[in-house]
């Protein structure tokens, strides 16, 4: 599915690391408009620049489903100074991906999310040292208990990296919770790929975790290593870039909650 995103959207679709690489290649476009805004249409809220509707890379109108998202996208365009920097416009990039890549492929994208349930970050645990084992349990066990009780998805824990086959009924139960609209699926896919955990993504979607909790849970191991060995600047830079996209996806999921009901 990621190949489809890359093909449709040159900034890397829903792959932020590829987007970072692409954003450094070639000249960036200068700001060519005076004012960004949006107008309500029968299909949603169309983003405009000097009263002209913005188009996606595939030349489709850039229309978002809620006023809250429209206001945030307009703010991204208004914040551009001199040249346009796509990496500071995560919601715009997400919108392009939804419209150009996900709209006709919702089931395929949901299936891609579901693949993570079989190898989810929360399932594979450290065997030592005990402090790390305890930290993983504290952050991850409540999510697994919640998945079992609220979703009916009972997963099997594993130690180390040896693959453990998860029960088909657990994966099916978790897969059944995934939304059916393109925007929610796209945002959920982005959270999943950034955290390595579809369970954290669903917990965020369902309001069991907030964005800060989900992000922290996804980085238990990394934060433990940082405490002991210090910060790797390159890793920190990549993480900061991922956080921008994660926060945009989490924002979109929250804004879409009223539509999903």
pLDDT of the residue at 28: 78
Does residue 58 contact residue 103 with C-beta atoms inside 8 Å? no
pLDDT of the residue at 8: 38
In which domain, by residue range, is 209 found?
A: 106-260
Q: Are residues 128 and 225 in the same domain?
A: yes
pLDDT bracket for residue 54 (50, 70, 90): very high
pLDDT in tens, 56-114: 999 999 999 999 999 999 999 999 999 999 999 999 999 999 999 999 999 999 999 99
11 has a pLDDT exceeding 50: no
Q: What is the pTM of this model?
A: 0.89
Last residue of a domain, one of 71, 102, 133: 102
- Average pLDDT on 190-207 reads 97
- Average pLDDT on 220-240 reads 93
pLDDT of the residue at 187: 98
What values do phi and psi take at 98, rounded to 5? -60, -50
pLDDT of the residue at 7: 41
Q: Are residues 58 and 182 in the same domain?
A: no
pLDDT of the residue at 10: 40
- Average pLDDT on 130-157 reads 97
Does residue 91 contact residue 256 with C-beta atoms inside 8 Å? no
165 has a pLDDT exceeding 50: yes
Between the alpha carbon of residue 7 and those of residues 34, 111, 114, 212, 260, the distances in Å are: 31, 19, 22, 32, 29
2 has a pLDDT exceeding 60: no
DSSP line for the chain: -HHHHHHH-TTTTT-HHHHHHHHTSSPPPBP--S-EEEEEETTEEEEEETTEE-B-TTS-B-EESSHHHHHHHHHHHHT-BSB--GGG-HHHHHHHHIIIIITT-HHHHHHHHHHGGGG-TTTEE--S-HHHHHHHHHHHHHHHHHIIIII---PPPEETT---PPPHHHHHHHHTTS--SHHHHHHHHHHHHHHT-HHHHHHHHTTSS-HHHHHHHHTHHHHHHHHHH---HHHHHHHHHHHHHHHHHHHHHHHTHHHH-
Last residue of a domain, one of 102, 128, 154: 102
141 has a pLDDT exceeding 80: yes
Between the alpha carbon of residue 46 and those of residues 53, 173, 213, the distances in Å are: 6, 36, 32
Q: Name the more confident of 259 and 33.
A: 33
Last residue of a domain, one of 102, 120, 136: 102
What's the structural domain count of the chain? Answer: 2
pLDDT of the residue at 259: 79
160 has a pLDDT exceeding 90: no
Q: Are residues 131 and 222 in the same domain?
A: yes
Smallest CA-to-CA distance from 47 within 66, 32, 29 is with 66
Please tell me the distance from the alpha carbon of residue 63 to that of residue 43, in angstroms, as a whole number.
7
CATH number at residue 75: 3.30.2180.10
pLDDT of the residue at 21: 47
- Average pLDDT on 239-249 reads 97
53 has a pLDDT exceeding 50: yes
Q: Are residues 121 and 230 in the same domain?
A: yes
Q: Are residues 248 and 124 in the same domain?
A: yes
pLDDT bracket for residue 27 (50, 70, 90): low
CATH number at residue 234: 1.10.3580.10
Q: Are residues 141 and 177 in the same domain?
A: yes
Q: Are residues 72 and 125 in the same domain?
A: no
């Amino acid at each position: 599915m990621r190949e489809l995103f890359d093909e449709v959207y040159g900034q890397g679709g829903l792959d932020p690391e590829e987007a970072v690489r692409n954003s450094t290649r070639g000249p960036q476009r200068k700001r060519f408009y005076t004012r960004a805004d949006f107008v309500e249409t029968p299909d949603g809220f169309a983003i405009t620049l000097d009263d002209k509707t913005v188009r996606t890379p595939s030349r489709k109108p850039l229309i978002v489903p809620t006023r809250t998202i429209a206001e945030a996208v307009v703010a991204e365009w208004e914040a551009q100074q001199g040249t346009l920097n796509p990496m500071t416009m995560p919601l715009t990039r997400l919108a392009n991906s939804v419209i150009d890549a996900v709209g006709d492929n919702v089931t395929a994208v949901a299936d891609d999310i579901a693949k993570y349930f079989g190898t989810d970050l929360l399932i594979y645990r450290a065997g030592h040292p005990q402090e790390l084992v305890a930290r993983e349990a504290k952050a991850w066990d409540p999510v697994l208990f919640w998945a079992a009780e609220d979703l009916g998805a009972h997963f099997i824990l594993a130690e180390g990296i040896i693959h453990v086959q998860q029960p088909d009924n657990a994966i099916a139960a978790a897969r059944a919770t995934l939304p059916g609209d393109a925007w929610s699926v796209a945002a959920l896919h982005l959270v999943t790929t950034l955290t390595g955990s579809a369970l954290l993504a669903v917990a965020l979607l369902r309001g069991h975790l907030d964005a800060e909790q989900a992000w922290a849970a996804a980085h238990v191991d990394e934060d433990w290593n940082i405490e002991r060995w210090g910060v790797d600047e390159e890793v920190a830079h990549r993480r900061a870039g991922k956080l921008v996209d994660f926060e945009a996806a989490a924002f979109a999921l929250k804004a879409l909650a009223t539509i999903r009901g």
